[in-house]
Amino acid sequence: MLSYFSNPQRFDGLARRVIPLLGVLTVVLLGTGLYLSFFGSPPDYQQGDTVRIMYVHVPAAYMAMALYAALAGASFVFFVWRHALADAAAEVIAPIGAVFTVLALVTGSLWGKPMWGTWWEWDARMTSVLVLLLVYLGYMALRAALEDAQQAARAGAVLAMAGVVNLVIVKFSVDWWSSLHQPASVIRFDGPTIHSSQLWPLAIMALGYTALAAWLVFYRLRSRTLVQRARQIERRKLQAARKAGPEAGGAA
């Protein structure tokens, strides 16, 4: 499948059909999620209405991690098979992942203050998520700093793959160290331990964020093909100008 879509025309055809679908899905899911989060679910018996922060916090944290996994996966595909599309996907995914990581940190902080009594604690979960943000930012900075596009792509891929270590630490930090943060209650071997009235808004918000992120990635990848076509024309013009150069500027 990967080699099938490494053909730019075929990818463009797929993206053209998938983008409107994902757009509609995003609007419907986030609309439903918003309704369920405020009107379709009760206040928590211990946490009161602060539980409604969970419906934006957990999906944001999940996206921060899922997008990093996608970034690392795309980097791996690029590194091994040199698929240009995989590199383009990695480049496009990184800033989206960084935004969701910021959201996870800020909404977590806004939830931590009323429930834990602190905005921030340097414990394993919070610190490793902060490191995740720094890895995203480092990846973007590295790519921006290297002028040679191929070099930037390869260095970025190596950094993204190395950062997987931190992703594993984020996931298991709540089991390996004692943390203010609760352990997993949705993605567990023995099934979710969260009540269905809270699981539904959570799941739908998470799906909505997933659809949104997928829309963003496909939409931005198509924008990139326009930029690439523009660059090709500019290169052709430059070559034409060089050829015409000696005659036009022959006097010198």
Task: Rule CB under 8 A: say whether 237 interacts with another protein.
Answer: yes
Task: Rule CB under 8 A: say whether 137 interacts with another protein.
Answer: no
Task: Rule CB under 8 A: say whether 12 interacts with another protein.
Answer: no
Exposure string over 26-51, b if 16+ CB within 10 A, otherwise e: beebbebbbebbeeebeebeeeeebb
For the CB of residue 204, give the shortest distance to another protein in the complex, in Å.
14
Task: Rule CB under 8 A: say whether 155 interacts with another protein.
Answer: no
Stretch that binds another protein, among 72-80, 111-119, 157-165, 167-175 (CB under 8 A): 111-119
Q: Which is nearer to another protein, 79 or 111 (CB)?
A: 111
* Chosen residue from 31, 234, 241, 245 binding another protein by CB under 8 A: 234
* Chosen residue from 6, 32, 50, 127 binding another protein by CB under 8 A: 50
Q: Which is nearer to another protein, 30 or 167 (CB)?
A: 30
* Chosen residue from 18, 69, 84, 106 binding another protein by CB under 8 A: 106
Stretch that binds another protein, among 125-133, 155-163, 169-177, 218-226 (CB under 8 A): 218-226
Distances (CA, A) of 33 to 25, 39, 136: 12, 10, 28
Binding-site size, another protein (CB under 8 A): 37
Cα separation, 5 vs 221, whole angstroms: 13
For the CB of residue 56, give the shortest distance to another protein in the complex, in Å.
4
* Chosen residue from 31, 43, 183, 245 binding another protein by CB under 8 A: 43
* Chosen residue from 22, 29, 36, 56 binding another protein by CB under 8 A: 56
Q: What is the CA radius of gyration of the chain?
A: 22
For the CB of residue 58, give the shortest distance to another protein in the complex, in Å.
12
Interface positions with another protein (CB under 8 A) = 30, 38, 43, 48-50, 52-53, 56-57, 60, 96, 99-100, 102-103, 106-107, 110-111, 113-114, 212, 216, 219-220, 222-224, 226-227, 229-230, 233-234, 236-237
